[in-house]
Amino acid sequence: MNRVKTALARLWKRLLAAVCVVACICSVAACGSGDETGKIRIGIKFDQPGLGFKKSGTYVGFDVDVAKYVAKQLGYSEDEIVWKEAPSKQREAMLQNGDVDMILATYSITDARKNAVSFAGPYFVAGQDLLVRRDDTSIKGPEDLNGKRLCSVTGSTSATTVKEKFANEVQLMEQPGYAECATALFSGIVDAVTTDDIILAGLASASRGKLKVVGKPFTQEYYGVGIKKGDKAFAKKINAAIESMIKDGAWQRAVEDNTKGTGYKPNAQYNPPKPTEGE
């Protein structure tokens, strides 16, 4: 009888030990979800000054400010945000794979993208423009692009627009990010960088006067908050947050803070926009 008891006790102990091992692994790794439980994962750009920019471990820019405001309204404090880099080409896949909960990364709302993802917003309206070297006088607008070499980013509406509108007259080089395009412009590999005016204003400002924005926007880019396709309830909550950000003056402050010193002014004809997408 005693022997049976001790055998049972031993078995019980082993069982407890096994449970503990599983529990310990789970607590360290948060059972497979890393340290992301209870947090919101937000995709932004890391290399676009004024919009989404990684600066010695912190994140700054207009997209970051809008993201923080929206996250707060959704019930997440700043330290409950996990920032993830969302390069132009990877945004749809990141939302489809569930790598992020939302994307605020100068992400234009388009019908083509709406086949894969949904949007809330818009929270800003930019326009595609051109960035050239300071001493360039040959490019004064999109009408001067004949024979020019342009740089833009793979997976952006900017590259698509060049292919649709100027395919026969320009040479297009595609890069993973706009910072790489600015480098190509510095070194004379291309004659202009093309994307949204607010992005170009940040790059021009970072170049300390070596690059200038042409200032003749030729599209409207409605910046949306990318979310998983079909999540109408989430879109509604995000739209309410954007609406409140515009109403309480935080939106205007964020625009001013993040474009200070660049000379950039948002197009007042379209800004601030009405966030009604995706509901």
Q: Which residues bind to ligand GLU, rule: CB under 6 A?
A: 88, 105-108, 153, 156-158, 195-196, 221
Instruction: Provide, rounded to whole angstroms, the least separation between the CB of residue 158 and ligand GLU.
Output: 5
Sheet holding 128-133, edge to edge: 171-175, 149-153, 192-196, 128-133, 211-213
Instruction: Provide, rounded to whole angstroms, the least separation between the CB of residue 262 and ligand GLU.
Output: 17
Instruction: Provide, rounded to whole angstroms, the least separation between the CB of residue 160 and ligand GLU.
Output: 8
Shortest-Cβ-distance residue relative to ligand GLU: 156
Instruction: Provide, rounded to whole angstroms, the least separation between the CB of residue 118 and ligand GLU.
Output: 15
Instruction: Provide, rounded to whole angstroms, the least separation between the CB of residue 224 and ligand GLU.
Output: 9
- Kindly tell me which of 158 and 205 has the beta carbon lying closer to ligand GLU: 158
Instruction: Provide, rounded to whole angstroms, the least separation between the CB of residue 125 and ligand GLU.
Output: 10
- Kindly tell me which of 73 and 220 has the beta carbon lying closer to ligand GLU: 220
- Kindly tell me which of 76 and 242 has the beta carbon lying closer to ligand GLU: 242
| Dist. CA 243–CA 225, nearest whole Å | 13
What is the residue-wise DSSP string for the chain?
A: -HHHHHHHHHHHHHHHHHHHHHHHHHHHHGGGTTT-TT-EEEEE-SEETTTEEEETTEEESHHHHHHHHHHHHTT--GGGEEEEE--GGGHHHHHHTTS-SEE-SS-B--TTGGGT-EEEEEEEEE-EEEEEETT--S-SSGGG-TT-EEEEETTSHHHHHHHHHSTTT-EEEEESSHHHHHHHHHTTS-SEEEEEHHHHHHHHHHTTTSEEE-----S-EEEEEEESTT-HHHHHHHHHHHHHHHHTTHHHHHHHHHHTTTT----TTT-SPP--TT-
Instruction: Provide, rounded to whole angstroms, the least separation between the CB of residue 129 and ligand GLU.
Output: 11
By CB neighbour count within 10 A (0-12 exposed, 13-18 middle, 19+ buried), where does 208 fall?
exposed
- Kindly tell me which of 76 and 266 has the beta carbon lying closer to ligand GLU: 266
- Kindly tell me which of 156 and 239 has the beta carbon lying closer to ligand GLU: 156
- Kindly tell me which of 76 and 117 has the beta carbon lying closer to ligand GLU: 117
- Kindly tell me which of 76 and 158 has the beta carbon lying closer to ligand GLU: 158
